[in-house]
Chains A and B, each alone.
Chain A
Amino acid sequence: MAIIVNLDVMLAKRKMQLTELSERMDITLSNLSILKTGKAKAIRFSSLEMICEILDCQPGDILEYVPDRPEDKK
């Protein structure tokens, strides 16, 4: 997928566990895992806002656009 979620990178930078983030966001751990592993189809602005607030970062630090290689599309 062209959008990469760098949540694990930001968590490592802030030395925070996914469990702690899920508790502070009041979101289930499984839902946050879906986001971290890149299986999510969409992210709500409210969720993104909370992540940015807790991890003290910008949306661009969490989400990254990487164009698909043509051979991957085949």
Chain B
Amino acid sequence: MQGQRTFDIVRVLVNVVYYVVALLALLVVILKSMALVMGTQELTDTSRQLTVNFDVKAFPKKDTLPPQLIYGSLKNAALEKKEDMYTLRTTSRSPLGIYSYVMTLLGAIAVVTGMGWLRKIFQDSSLKEPFRAINAMRIRNIGLLLIAADVVRLIGYYIFNRMTNPYFTPYFEQYMEVGNSLWMGLLLLALAVVYRRGVEIYKENQLTI
């Protein structure tokens, strides 16, 4: 059947990626947990101490120096040094460290769960029987998971700002990209509806003599 080879290759790839991602997620969670249990509460020497880091963008007053531009041999292009990017360092047992741990744990669970669903979709599908009701549910679940991931990220962004900004000058915000997985999730929800219709048509076709 046409496309069977591509389908088999993608299925193997998804399987491999699933195990790699699951292993990495497990490693990250173990390391974070160890840092939480064994780490110190006080921030001492940030160059040597194992810290929890957040990339933040500061918004200082406008009297700072203009950004430095580096010109290369490529015409009409320049490398701009951003002045206002900082890394917020904290210990793993501080409130921000615990926040980071919770976010990492949630992220790891979401990634492994999502990849698991994707893996099962490929396991249960075949070109002979491409439409299955359970896969429509899994596609919808992945879509919802992606939307939830962005919502949690957004909530985390506000929590982070509430936890840090009253104590620092200049004002800064956590550097994160929100919105991509929301659109992806909405697209998957729409695809799940189309897929469900495909399941119905397939069933009707099977019952046509």
Mind listing 19 A-B residue pairs with CB under 8 Å? A27-B209, A31-B209, A32-B209, A34-B207, A35-B209, A39-B207, A40-B207, A40-B208, A40-B209, A41-B203, A41-B204, A41-B207, A41-B208, A42-B204, A42-B208, A42-B209, A43-B209, A44-B209, A47-B209
Interface string of B67-90 (1 = CB under 8 A from A): 000000000000000000000000
A14-39 CB contacts (< 8 Å) to partner B: 27, 31-32, 34-35, 39
| Closest residue of A by beta carbon distance from B207 | A41
Q: What 9 pairs between A and B have smallest CB-CB spacing? A: A41-B207, A42-B208, A35-B209, A41-B204, A40-B209, A43-B209, A47-B209, A40-B207, A31-B209
Q: What separation, in Å, do the CA atoms of A31 and B207 have in the docked complex?
A: 8
| Closest residue of B by beta carbon distance from A43 | B209
Residue among B207, B208, B209 with the most chain A CB within 10 A?
B209
B190-209 CB contacts (< 8 Å) to partner A: 203-204, 207-209
B153-209 CB contacts (< 8 Å) to partner A: 203-204, 207-209
Q: A27-B209, A32-B209, A42-B209 are in contact. List 19 more A-B contacts (CB 8 A).
A: A31-B209, A34-B209, A35-B209, A39-B207, A40-B207, A40-B208, A40-B209, A41-B203, A41-B204, A41-B207, A41-B208, A42-B204, A42-B207, A42-B208, A43-B208, A43-B209, A44-B208, A44-B209, A47-B209
Chain A residues with CB under 8 Å of B209's CB are: 27, 31-32, 34-35, 40, 42-44, 47
Chain B residues with CB under 8 Å of A27's CB are: 209
Chain B residues with CB under 8 Å of A39's CB are: 207
Distance (whole angstroms) from the CB of B201 to the closest CB of chain A? 10
Chain A residues with CB under 8 Å of B208's CB are: 40-44
Distance (whole angstroms) from the CB of B145 to the closest CB of chain A? 34
Distance (whole angstroms) from the CB of A44 to the closest CB of chain B? 6
Chain A residues with CB under 8 Å of B207's CB are: 34, 39-42
Q: What separation, in Å, do the CA atoms of A64 and B203 have in the docked complex?
A: 24
Q: What separation, in Å, do the CA atoms of A35 and B207 have in the docked complex?
A: 8
Chain B residues with CB under 8 Å of A43's CB are: 208-209
Q: What separation, in Å, do the CA atoms of A3 and B208 have in the docked complex?
A: 14
Chain B residues with CB under 8 Å of A42's CB are: 204, 207-209
| Closest residue of B by beta carbon distance from A35 | B209
Distance (whole angstroms) from the CB of B100 to the closest CB of chain A? 55
Chain B residues with CB under 8 Å of A31's CB are: 209
Distance (whole angstroms) from the CB of B143 to the closest CB of chain A? 29
Q: What separation, in Å, do the CA atoms of A27 and B204 have in the docked complex?
A: 17
Chain B residues with CB under 8 Å of A47's CB are: 209
B76-119 CB contacts (< 8 Å) to partner A: none
